[in-house]
Structure 1
């Protein structure tokens, strides 16, 4: 569980990154979750874009993806959301206490 200070820190880092993938009309598939698991392990902080053709609400999609990838929801702005999960082997982001 992230504290407010940690969430703010991650939001500031997320400002500079671009979405690495998108959710379209196919929705959230098993292969999509596998791709995100690998991305979270490599990057720790990822941004995802929910296309207008998707039938999913951005916050609902973010919460579902966070649960399926065992990651933390950081924020949702417009059609984009940010997730964080500490890497098991190669942690790069050091959260404030």
Structure 2
């Protein structure tokens, strides 16, 4: 997926603000099953939050990069243990600005 412009990223941050995490990365880390759940959640919702159990910021950042690469999604933001990810659906519901 193409990278997001600052305006698009800001718009998605606003939409994500009220949403709750739909997937949790537990103590086992980023497994194939978790990646599959994230892929399904992105297909259903376009914009999702993922909660990561790790206390290591570098680990969470690496997971975010791996998720985006594996699913073709774009990283919107990472706040603490919450990762916000966006991928356009086959029938888009979210219309990005500009």
Question: Which runs of 4 or more aligned residues in structure 1 lie more than 6 Å from their structure 2 counterparts after TM superposition?
Answer: 53-56
Q: CA deviation at 1:63?
A: 1.1
Q: Is the 8 A contact 1:72 1:84 kept in 2?
A: yes
| CA deviation string 1:30-55 (max 9, x = no partner) | 11111111110110000001114789
Distance of aligned partners of 1:52 and 1:30 in 2 relative to their CA distance in 1, 3 Å threshold = closer
Question: Partner of 2:53 in structure 1?
Answer: 51
Q: Distance in 1 between matches of 2:71 and 2:94?
A: 18
Q: Distance in 2 between matches of 1:53 and 1:5?
A: 30
**How many angstroms apart in 1 are the aligned matches of 2:36 and 2:48?**
14
TM-score, structure 1 length as denominator?
0.90
List gaps (5 residues or longer) in structure 2: none
Number of corresponding residues: 96
What is the rounded CA distance, in whole Å, between the counterparts of 1:5 and 1:64 in structure 2?
Answer: 24
User: How many Å separate the matches in 1 of 2:84 and 2:27?
Assistant: 20
Q: Distance in 2 between matches of 1:53 and 1:79?
A: 8
- TM-score, structure 2 as length reference: 0.89
Q: Distance in 1 between matches of 2:52 and 2:92?
A: 27
RMSD over aligned Cα atoms = 1.7
SS at match of 1:75: strand
For residues 89 and 29 of structure 2, the distance between their equivalents in structure 1, rounded to whole angstroms, comes to 26
- Which residue pairs with 2:30 in the alignment? 28
